[in-house]
Amino acid sequence: MITIEKLEQIKNYHRPFLEERLKESANTTIKDGNIALNDLYYNKQTRIALKNCGIINPGNIEDYIAVDGYSALANILMNKSKAEVIEDMKASNLRGRGGAGFPTGKKWEEAFKYNADQKYMICNADEGDPGAFMDRSILENDPHSVLEGMAIGGYAVGADQGFIYVRAEYPTAVKRLKIAIEQAKELGVLGNNIFGTGFNFDIKLKLGSGAFVCGEGTALIESIEGKRGMPRTKIYRTAHKGLWQKPTIINNVETYANVPVIFQKGVEWFKSIGTEKSPGTKVFSLVGKVENAGLVEVPMGMPLREIVYDIGGGIQNGKKFKAVQTGGPSGGCIPEHLIDTPVDFESLGKIGSIMGSGGMVVMDEDTCMVDIARFFLEFTVDESCGKCIPCREGTKRMLEILERIVEGKGEEQDIETLETLSETITTASLCGLGQTAANPVVTTLKYFRDEYEAHIKDHKCPAGSCKSLIEYFITEKCIGCGMCAKACPVQCISGKPKELHIINKLACIKCGACMEACPKKVQAVIKR
């Protein structure tokens, strides 16, 4: 049986070894007992969920204990009642980081109030947004923070069993979670009679098969129960009747990773970061046409401009910023004139986007917003479980319309039809996947309507991105070097040496190889 004294001994013994190891790295600084990464990339970041990533060895539980790991759990079990833990969580106003932003303390309180012979804690690690890797990074680099957060939640609501539903496509995360659970059980911070308090808590892994819809809570529960992952009709909240019809708490990876830090450093410390209604930080997967792509963790309320330019380093190749899409395939596209919008739940909601789990895709002037809407809707159509008609049929009809538009076959009434379908699908779909599926279309229609009209009325793609609507030309600048003809995979370019070359438009497959091959000093090949 682990004791607080034993935990403190491990910390005091192992901490100097950790600090000595970190001193040898040019990427870390130790000041006043705090360990920080000192690369310029992190200057404007505030790390809570990611605070141990890149610092500790995720396969060594002693490393986690050396940075105060499991101290919050020990203190809570010895000194706080369940009601006190829930009140602290409510006071912190930690909102779920998986997308909806529901207050964690209120969710825990709801499950706490129900009397049941069995309750469950679930960690939703079914991260499926294109380009997102926030949860994977935490699971691979700091798995014990999630285990500790789940154990604290289990104590608060009266649960003794937890499940981590993780994508099978994350083999490294799965491997390290297995090691972490085994080490935690061996040490006694998981299992029976933790810290001699009579509290029992165990955690099991459940591997998902890659269905995006299983990121929805009730579909995830169905999958754990061995059924097909399809959302339930919301008669009861999962905190009342969830896994096997028992009170169940579902939080995502990042939410659980925040919990131990809140109890280590205090509620007021946590509330001092971020905004009043959205305290703390948020981890984003910053990807797309940005110089410094990667994971960033910033205080809630930081303007998008600071994230894109100060942390992300601006747009690649000196291109012009056009939009940023937040919230994954269910999010909205935010245009340039709204780039100073603060990143918090309320501000993003007002302009038609969402926080989501933390995807952030940056787009430049060469991005076609109609095609972006098509891309995300195509993903949603593929991932729809098909249970409800509005999502199953409505999203397909929307995708068919968008595909026609980007091919230059759109009709003027298509815009009105898209708006009608968007409203119907959002209102009538069973789960969050369908209810938010139209967001990329709605926001691009709102902020980039002129691009839709150009595709439909003028049969042109303003961004020069849609292959069906662009043509390649060789201008009078051509010096007859023949580089374009050599690069053409279908040999549709003809011309004599040192004379103007010509592209056979009927044979051209619009691959752009000719433009890339044309000498930069000449730039005789253009598209329009």
Host domain of residue 193: 4-271
pLDDT of residue 236: 84
Residue 276 lies in a domain: no
Last residue of a domain, one of 271, 301, 323: 271
CATH code, domain with 497: 3.30.70.20
Are 401 and 357 contained in the same domain? no
Confidence bin at 364 (pLDDT 50/70/90): very high
Domain end point (choices 364, 386, 413): 364
CA distances from 472 to 323, 451, 507, 516 (A): 26, 20, 12, 12
Find the mean pLDDT for residues 15-31.
77
**N- to C-terminal Cα distance for the chain?**
72
User: For position 36, what pLDDT does the model report?
Assistant: 65
Task: For residue range 490-508, list pLDDT tens digits in order.
Answer: 999 999 999 999 999 999 9
Q: What is the mean pLDDT of residues 203-229?
A: 92
| Cα–Cα distance list, 431 to 21, 245, 358 (Å) | 48, 19, 19
Q: What percent of the chain has pLDDT over 90?
A: 80
* Mean pLDDT, residues 354-383: 93
The verdict on residue 463 lying in a domain is no
Q: Give yes or no: residues 341 and 376 share one domain.
A: no
pLDDT of residue 42: 77
**Are residue 331 and residue 420 in the same domain, yes or no?**
no
Q: What is the pLDDT averaged over residues 384-404?
A: 94
**Domain match, 107 and 160 both:** yes
Same domain, residue pair 130 and 151:
yes
CATH assignment of the domain containing 321: 3.10.20.600
Supply the Cα-derived Rg of the chain in whole angstroms. 26
Question: Is residue 81 in a domain?
Answer: yes
End-of-domain residue from the set 364, 379, 398: 364
Q: What predicted TM-score, i.e. pTM, was given to this entire model?
A: 0.91
Residue 489, domain member (yes or no)? yes
193 and 246 in a single domain? The answer is yes
Give the pLDDT confidence score for residue 225 in this predicted structure: 95
State the total domains in the chain: 4
**Spatial contact of 118 and 248, defined as CB atoms under 8 Å apart:** no
Window from 97-106, 269-278, 443-452 with minimum mean pLDDT:
97-106
Per-residue pLDDT averaged across 334-348, rounded? Answer: 94
At residue 88, the pLDDT reads: 97
Where would I find the beta strands (DSSP E) of 438-519?
A: 472-474, 493-494, 502-503
Q: Are residues 488 and 523 in the same domain?
A: yes
Confidence tier at 195 by pLDDT (50, 70, 90): very high
